[in-house]
Amino acid sequence: MTRIDRRFQDLKREGRGGLVAFITAGDPDYATSLAILKGLPAAGADIIELGMPFSDPMADGPAIQAASLRALRAGMTLRKTLAMVAEFRQGDAATPIVLMGYYNPIYSYGVDAFLKDAREAGVDGLIVVDLPPEEEGELCLPALKAGINFIYLTAPTTDDARLAKVLRNASGFVYYVSILGITGTASAPIDQVEAAVTRLKGHTDLPVAVGFGIKTPEHAGRIAAIAEAAVVGSALVNVVAAGLDGNGQAKPGLVAEVLAFAGRLGDGVRKKG
């Protein structure tokens, strides 16, 4: 059983949905990002999704694209992202961390070396947006062998035949992208999300986390009432961006502002709408 499995078991026992909080590793700089990362569990995050900065994302909207660029300009790399996870693990052995990003940096790093270092750092799961199930031999199967969950995205357009392929080796949880488009833009009507979650649960026993377009504590609460977790990314990243000075540097209070917003999201999830 992985840390992600245990966390969803805990949430089920507590009778509530969870909050998956996304930040970009190294945004706006390593020290600030690490301070946010370390503070997220106490603020209310049940699972942390840590973005691996990448210059050419396909699923990320303007907020997360800008966060990636800030991190890359500050010198963030995949190796430093793993180092950040290792630093986090020195003080937190329980909160699952899922790395989200794209395959190019992992391919360049070397799959075997990446999985070994990720495992040693304390990474629990991977979401690699541009690796479909047809390419599962590239990373999904090696990750499972290494004891790291591989989480696939599903969308409103994922029909039953496609879903069978997507779920074949999915583990940890299923990430339902609730809109057609990129992160941080529109929000799906709650009744459509509920119908989609119900359909997914007819195909899998894995927990379902819903993301894309969740912006407020109230919205997170409504989602957490119908799925196992709500994923919030761009809204958190926007708080980071709002805390920068004219030179793109973190202003005093930025970390506290981000964690305060995460706390309100956590409260929203615990109220369950």
Residues forming the active site: 49, 60
Length of the chain in residues, anyone?
273
How does DSSP assign 107-167, residue by residue?
A: HHH-HHHHHHHHHHHT--EEEETT--GGGTTTTHHHHHHTT-EE--EE-TT--HHHHHHHH
Alpha-carbon distance of 127 to 100, in angstroms, equals 5
For residue 79, CA distances in Å to 52, 150, 208 come to 10, 20, 30
Encoded amino acid at 185, one letter: T
Least Cα distance to 68 among 209, 186, 183 occurs for 183
Alpha-carbon distance of 52 to 57, in angstroms, equals 10
Strands (E) located in 31-124: 47-51, 97-101
Cis peptide before 96 (omega within 30 of 0): no
